[in-house]
Structure formats: C-alpha cells, structure tokens
Amino acid sequence: QFIGLKLVESVSIRGHCDGIVCLCDCGGNIILCNPAIKELKLLPKSCLPNWGYSDVGIGYDPKSKDYKVQRISCDGEEIYGDRLVFFPPRVEIYNLSTDTWREIKSNCLETEATFLWPEDFEMYWKGICYWLGYEQPKEFESYFDRLEDEKKKTVVFFFDTGDEVFHSILLPDCVYEPPEEYRYDMSIVLWNESVALFGLESPDAYAESYGIWVMDDFDGGKGSWTRHLTFKLLVDVKRVLRL
C-alpha cells in the first residue's frame, strides 16, 4: 500500500513497471509513484552505504508476485602505489511486499580480470530488467589510465527478477568498430513485442545514421542480434524520440 511522502527535491524518473514509476531525488531517496491512484511511497533507507554513485531499476517478479527495486552501488576504489584498484559493485533488492532492503551476492558481475557495471536502467519486460553498462578491468596501471575508453566495453545486462541473477551479452559487432563514440548513444526498447537495441550507428557530417537490432533467442547469457533497419535523420534534426 502506498503512503504519504515527505518533502523531496530535484526528483528524476529512473524507471517504471506496470504503471508504477520509480523516482529518485538528489538526497538519495527512492520513491514509488502510482499516478493512476495518485499515491506515493517513500522507500526505507538503503542497507548499503550512500556512495557517490548508484543507480536503480524496478521490475516485477512473476514467481513471487512481488515488485522489486534493484540498487547497484559503486563500492569505491583505492590507489596502491602506481595502481588504481576498483572494489566490486554491490547490489541490494527492495521487496514491496515486505518493505525492506537486502543485499544479494553480485559475483555474477565479476570475472577473473574484470568487473561488470550495470549503469543505466532501461526497461522491464516479462520478468527481466534490462540495463546498459560496461565491463572494465579490475585495476589500472595509473589513475589517468582509467580515462582511456578502450579499457571499457559497453554491454547489455539482464536481471532476472525471479532468480535475482545478472547476465550480460555484447552489443552487435559493428557497434564496436571505429569510430567508437557512438556506442554510448544506445537504448534498449521494445520493437513489435521483441527486445531491441536502438541507437546511433554511424556519425555523418550531413545526416547521422541510426539502426535497430532485434535480440534473438537470449538464453542464460547467450544471444545474438539481427539488424532490423537503418535510417538517416533529416538535416538539422538533433534528437530522435525514443521508440
């Protein structure tokens, strides 16, 4: 049940699911809003420290029939001599039915040499929350070495709301080809009831080219993309409305 809300400032929309909108404010508060019945709920304080960077997403678990908010937090970094070492991401889940947070294991976001960082929540669809983020080395030779974009690889993340596990797949191969800057202008969208990737395919001096790739047969971290269409914008059109 939604309850009244304290005073909050600078609210931004982070995601939505089944008519429930997830909001965050500049003070780190997370609010659920149901516009249809005009009710709000301020979530309890996180069970993790309030670090400088975190992001949230929302989805529905068809197994437990419960709404779940995911919060992914940066666990910080330290400099050891000439090396910059990152700590692993930490993940906590809020259950609407119990009105509580709990931390879950995040070892699915770690490989032997890299960490996987879900960074931008995109959407919820059929038991899965979709994020965009990147994979990066666990450590760098120097503090400034982290600024080299080739050290990061953009990936798509899937969070199974029932199993509470993240999976990831790479973007289409052509997205990783030079020039590389356009890979950061990507969105996960629904296209004819299928999950698709939409974004800038290639910058052009006169008309930028956008593409839509439909995801095929995702299963346990394995999947592929099929290019559906490519189109160019009219001159002087600077922004495309999301599908």
Q: Is the pLDDT of residue 69 over 60?
A: yes
Alpha helical stretches, state H, the chain:
none
The per-residue pLDDT for range 83-106, each reduced to its tens digit, is 778 888 899 999 999 999 999 998
pLDDT at 200: 74
6-40 burial code (b ≥16 CB/10 A, e <16):
eebeeeeebbbbeebbbbbeeeebbbbbeeeeeeb
Report the percent of the chain where pLDDT is more than 70.
77
pLDDT at 97: 96
**Entry pTM:** 0.85
The per-residue pLDDT for range 10-62, each reduced to its tens digit, is 778 899 999 999 998 877 788 999 999 888 898 998 877 665 567 899 999 99
Q: Is the pLDDT of residue 153 over 70?
A: yes
The CB-based long-range contact list for 146-154 (8 Å cut-off, 24+ gap) reads 146/84, 149/180, 149/181, 150/180, 154/183, 154/184, 154/186
pLDDT at 3: 43
